[in-house]
């Protein structure tokens, strides 16, 4: 016997138009997620029982990842705080990319070493790369190639730390 209120309850995913398979972006475990979409809006994210990694489970962070897509704190523009600045400002993406490229070139040049301890090394100590857990296998492959080609020797990922 159910009360009328209980009988009227419906799972919040029953009105979804489609379910998209995805992977939690928060850490290197890579738990499977079902993303429920209604009217082109993500309405719910739950664990994917078909995932051999997580078998339907999500930790509290992964369970809250709906906020990542729909939360008020989500940023859609480049935010920049200048050296010694106290406020954040919006930058056009093209300008931000140019600034990053300029700094990579400058740091590479300033940190370049042809030789060290009598041996030819042809490397830069001007920058390193630390990847985050949201990078996938293919992205990490390309990042390793890029930074090695630039001469960096400190190339790491959160998943190995
Ligand atoms: S649900 Fe938790 S453990 Fe799984 S990938 Fe996301 S953050 Fe990592």
Could you list the residue range(s) of the whole structural domain that residue 61 is in? Answer: 4-70
Q: Whose CA is nearest to atom 8 of ligand 1?
A: 27
13 and 58 in one domain?
A: yes
As a three-state string, the secondary structure of 3-30 is: CHHHHHCCCCCCCCCEEEEEECCCCCCC
Q: Whose CA is nearest to atom 6 of ligand 1?
A: 62
List the pLDDT tens digit at each of the 161 positions of the chain: 889 999 999 988 899 999 999 999 888 788 999 999 999 999 999 999 999 999 999 999 999 999 988 889 888 999 999 999 999 999 999 999 999 999 999 999 999 999 999 999 999 999 999 998 778 788 889 999 999 999 999 999 877 66
Tokens of 30: 């890579």
63 and 9 in one domain?
A: yes
Residues sharing a CB contact under 8 Å with residue 91, sequence separation 6 or more, in sequence order: 77, 78, 79, 80, 99
Tokens of 158: 């959160």
Distance CA 9, CA 127 (A): 55
62 and 8 in one domain?
A: yes
DSSP-based three-state secondary structure for 105: helix
66 and 98 in one domain?
A: no
Domain boundary among 70, 97, 120: 70
For residue 24 and ligand 1, the question of a CB distance below 6 A is answered with: yes
For residue 155 and ligand 1, the question of a CB distance below 6 A is answered with: no
């Amino acid at each position: 016997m159910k009360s009328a209120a209980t009988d009227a309850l419906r799972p919040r995913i029953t009105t979804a138009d489609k379910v998209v398979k995805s992977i939690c972006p928060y850490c290197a475990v890579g738990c499977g997620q079902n993303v429920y979409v209604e009217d082109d809006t993500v309405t719910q994210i739950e664990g994917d029982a078909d995932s051999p990694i997580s078998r339907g489970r999500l930790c509290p962070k992964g369970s809250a990842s709906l906020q990542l897509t729909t939360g008020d704190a989500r940023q859609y523009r480049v935010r920049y705080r200048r050296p010694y600045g106290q406020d954040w400002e919006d930058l056009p993406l093209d300008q931000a990319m140019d600034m990053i490229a300029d700094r990579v070139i400058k740091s590479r040049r300033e940190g370049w070493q042809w030789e060290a301890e009598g041996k030819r090394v042809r490397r830069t100590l001007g920058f390193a790369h630390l990847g985050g857990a949201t990078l996938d296998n293919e992205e990490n492959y390309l990042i390793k190639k890029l930074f090695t080609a630039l001469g960096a020797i400190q190339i790491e990922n959160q998943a190995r730390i």
